Amino acid sequence: NAGVTQTPKFRILKIGQSMTLQCTQDMNHNYMYWYRQDPGMGLKLIYYSVGAGITDKGEVPNGYNVSRSTTEDFPLRLELAAPSQTSVYFCASSDTGWAPEQFFGPGTRLTVL
Amino acid sequence: QQQVKQSPQSLIVQKGGISIINCAYENTAFDYFPWYQQFPGKGPALLIAIRPDVSEKKEGRFTISFNKSAKQFSLHIMDSQPGDSATYFCAAITSGGSYIPTFGRGTSLIVHP
């Protein structure tokens, strides 16, 4: 199993540009999440999904959009990028049941200039 | 309102020493408590997890101690090694509920050789 994969690993955007961060998991997990992590800070939840077709806002959703058309994929869309969106983005997935811990992807480092 | 308080924010120990990181929670509905380890440039990875029906869980040099009445749990790293230098996050989950984890803010551990 590849686990949770994210692309791209790095990206530089200009202010006002848009992009999609890709996330795929092969563990058949129902739950998927997007977090951002700023230097020296913890993890802030942007959006999450409890299954295909179902998404909901987390703590910091402004400036982002998500979709979940399949169990495996959970892309994060940035519209009109702003310098405040410079961060490292992590996708994660989890199962429900006895061991609901999250599995994280390797991250995407995004810089908006 | 931060529902999981993690301390200390940073920790420096000598090789061979014991590293102790503490977390306290408020929501008594939490019933699953994972710890994550994150190396620079990588995504967080599950280290060890515990349920409140046990007071301690040990895996190698890593031990979780759990105090249900005090609503506190801690990570002990015995015989700390320079390779343990990383950021550690505690989390709390309500399984059977939302399954959305609440994370502590993280502890940056440095182990000096």
Which homologous superfamily does the CATH classification assign to the domain defined by B4-104? Immunoglobulins (2.60.40.10)
Answer whether residue A26 is part of any domain: yes
Query: Does A51 map to a domain?
Result: yes
| CA–CA dist A94, A105 (Å, integer) | 12
Q: Which residue in B3, B4, B51, B99 has the most chain A C-beta atoms within 10 A of its own C-beta, making it the best mutation to test that interface?
A: B99
Position A97 confidence tier, pLDDT thresholds 50, 70, 90: confident
Among A3-17, A19-33, B58-72, B96-110, which is the least confidently predicted range?
A: B96-110
Answer whether B44 sits within 8 Å of A104, measured CB to CB.
yes
- Domain holding A45, by residue range, is 4-95
B9-43 burial code (b ≥16 CB/10 A, e <16): eebebeeeeebbbbbbbeeeebbbbbbbbbeeeeb
Residue B83 in tokens: 């390779």
Considering CB atoms only, which of A99, A101, A106 is closest to B42?
A106
Q: Do B43 and A90 meet the contact criterion of CB atoms below 8 Å apart?
A: yes
CA distance B21 to B11: 8
Give chain A positions within 8 Å (CB) of B46: 101-103
Computed over every residue of chain B, the mean pLDDT equals: 94
Tens of pLDDT, residue by residue over A21-52, are 999 999 999 999 999 999 878 899 999 999 99
- pLDDT tens per residue across span A76-96: 999 899 999 999 999 999 988
For residue range B46-94, list pLDDT tens digits in order. 999 999 889 999 999 999 999 999 999 999 999 999 999 999 999 999 8
Residue A112 lies in a domain: no
Number of domains in chain A: 1
Contacts of A98 in chain B (CB under 8 A): 95
CA A24 to chain centre: 10
Task: In whole angstroms, give the CA distance from residue A37 to residue B109.
Answer: 17
DSSP conformation letters of B51-75: -TT-SEEEETTEEEEEETTTTEEEE
B29 close to A (CB below 8 A): no
In a domain, A62, yes or no: yes
Percent of chain B with pLDDT over 90: 86
The CATH number for A35's domain is: 2.60.40.10
Residue A89 near chain B (CB below 8 Å): no
Query: What whole-number distance in Å separates Cα of residue A26 and Cα of residue A4?
Result: 7
Residue A107 lies in a domain: no
Q: Do A43 and B89 touch (CB under 8 A)?
A: yes
Q: Do B44 and A106 touch (CB under 8 A)?
A: no
Is residue B1 predicted with pLDDT exceeding 80?
A: no
Between B98 and A17, residue with greater pLDDT: A17
pLDDT reported for residue B2: 53
Q: Is A42 on the interface with B (CB under 8 A)?
A: yes
